[in-house]
Amino acid sequence: MPEFSRILMVLGVVLFLVGMLWQFIGKLPGDIVFRKGNTTVYFPIVTSIVISIVLSLVFYIINRFR
């Protein structure tokens, strides 16, 4: 059970750090935004790729220590 609590704490810290970075970075180059009139469509392609890579690394590191 202590391992599960440690994993939850690490995930909490990672989510906190990602949230803080997201505030400063905002929209990355490569994200697609369409604006026409009062409608805005946002496709965060590059942001999704970056988040996927970061989460993959975090889970790899967690799995490595098990």
pLDDT digits (tens, 9 = 90+) for 38-58: 999 988 888 788 889 988 988
Determine the structural domain holding residue 29 and report its residue range: 2-64
Contact 25, 61 (CB under 8 A): no
Entry pTM = 0.56
**Burial grade of 64 (CB within 10 A; 0-12, 13-18, 19 or more):** exposed
What is the domain count for the chain?
1
Maximum CA extent, the chain: 54
Q: What is the mean pLDDT of the chain?
A: 82
